Structure 1
Amino acid sequence: MEIKERILEKAEALFWKFGTRSITMDDISRDIGISKKTLYQHFVDKDDIVYQVILYRMDKNRENVSCHISTAHDPIEEILLGSEMLRQQLSDMNPALMIDIQRHYPRAWEICTEFKEKFILESIRLNLRRGIEQGLYRSEIDVEIMARLRVELIRMAFDTDVFPKGLAAMIEVQIQLLHHFVRGILTEKGSIIYNQYVQKYQNVPASTTR
């Protein structure tokens, strides 16, 4: 592995665990086992590292989402596989990370915003359209409104004013919001398939109301 990619992976792990504000260039170089001189040969400063870590992560996320889309049997499994990917990423993420980036690293936050607007939203729109075409999602839903609602539900789970830290783990909040969203758009046919999948992906009880 090239030294720059190794730095990005190690820095990402530190940021995910501790947030960005408490991690210094000294911490990064010490964790990797390289000198600060070597670190500065690849990155201008900490702002540059945060920016490139987020760029690196968003590229990986695009690859992972595309892989899930290609392997899913239908739009319902696709969205549940996406939830599993999100669960894996959030399991060791410091809840303050995204807030820190938004407040203190505008270049990195711009990458997050662009990823949301140009990739996540479009992926959800396509999923909703395919689900409607296959009779799994209700035909009367407004695709644009529901796509933006889904994105806002993801964002909301990070908001400690809405969901305080002691209330529940962030990943549990994400799971509950996802399945609330999915159940609201399913047809009867979709509900049957959905309940089969949640027996496979054991991260939420199957619906008892459909």
Structure 2
Amino acid sequence: MRENIIHKAAVLFLTLGFKSVTMDDIAHEMGISKKTIYVHFPNKTKLVEAVTFNLFDTICAGIDDICENVSNPIEELYSIKMFVMHHLKNEKSSPQYQLKKYYPKIHTELKYKQFEKMHQSVQESLEHGVATEVFRNTIDVDFISRMYFTGMTGIKDNMFFPPEHYKMNYLMESYLEYHLRAIVTEKGLQILNKFITSNQSEK
């Protein structure tokens, strides 16, 4: 039952936002009493926390699977982007923004976990790219991986990129191109151009 509650709450939170969805809404959607939810989660904050880190673990497992099965680091980044977009569903509800505003402690902990995971995986991807000569061998791997995380976090800030003006898919694709163009070799650029052509989204 606990896992079912987390799954249903995740769908509602990502579709409608963390603030909008109440415990009553979740109970109604599941056809159970609110008391049943409280058996597993003493309050909404604990449920938000469980949903947030469950989703994080799911995305991490998916990213690990992609990294193990995709040989090209450029294709890897685009595959990860599509996977993350699929799991975050409707970005119009601004889940990251609402989490930061209404559950700042959870947001801070999540951001730290995200940095640890992304910093490691991007470093490995960059090193692989250098070894396969699609990325320049002069890049500072540690610096670039930190900049990548900063940029990916920054494009989700509604103050700088209001959702009424920018679709998240467009922002992620544009940032990927911006990031990769700075580090690719001629060999890498040929691969990148193919992905840009097949992944263009509307602003």
Q: Does 1:188 align with 2:186?
A: yes
Paired positions, count = 201
Contact 1:12 1:53 in 2 (8 A): yes
* RMSD over aligned Cα atoms: 1.7
Q: What is the letter of the counterpart of residue 118 of structure 1?
A: E
**Distance in 1 between the 2:118 and 2:187 partners?**
26
Q: What is the TM-score of this pair, normalised by structure 1?
A: 0.88
**Residue number in structure 2 paired with 1:174:** 172
Cα deviation per residue 1:137-168 (whole Å; 9 max; x = unaligned)?
A: 01111112211111122112211221122212
Q: Contact 1:55/1:111 (CA < 8 Å) preserved in 2? A: no
1:28 positional shift: 1.0
Matches within 5 A, 1:1-210: 3-198=1-196, 202-204=198-200
Q: Whole-Å Cα distance in 2 between the matches of residues 88 and 94 of structure 1?
A: 14
Q: Sequence identity, in percent?
A: 27
Tell me the distance in 2 between the aligned counterparts of 1:81 and 1:144: 22
Contact 1:90 / 1:171 at 8 angstroms: preserved in 2?
no
Cα distance between partner residues in 2 of 1:21 and 1:119: 27
d(CA) in 1 for partners of 2:19, 2:195: 40
Query: After the TM superposition, which segments of 4 or more aligned residues of structure 1 sit over 3 Å from their partners?
Result: 196-199
In the alignment, the residues of structure 1 paired with residue 74 and residue 121 of structure 2 have an alpha-carbon distance, to the nearest angstrom, of 13
Structure 1 unaligned blocks of 5 or more? 206-210
Single out whichever of 157-166 and 102-111 deviates more from structure 2: 102-111
Give distance in 1, aligned partners of 2:173 and 2:88: 11
Alpha-carbon separation, structure 2, partners of 1:164 and 1:23? 22
Question: 1:198 Cα shift?
Answer: 4.4
Partners in 2 of 1:196 and 1:176 — Cα distance?
Answer: 14
Give the whole-Å Cα distance in 1 for the aligned partners of 2:167 and 2:196.
Answer: 20
Select between 80-89 and 32-41 the one with higher mean Cα deviation. Answer: 80-89
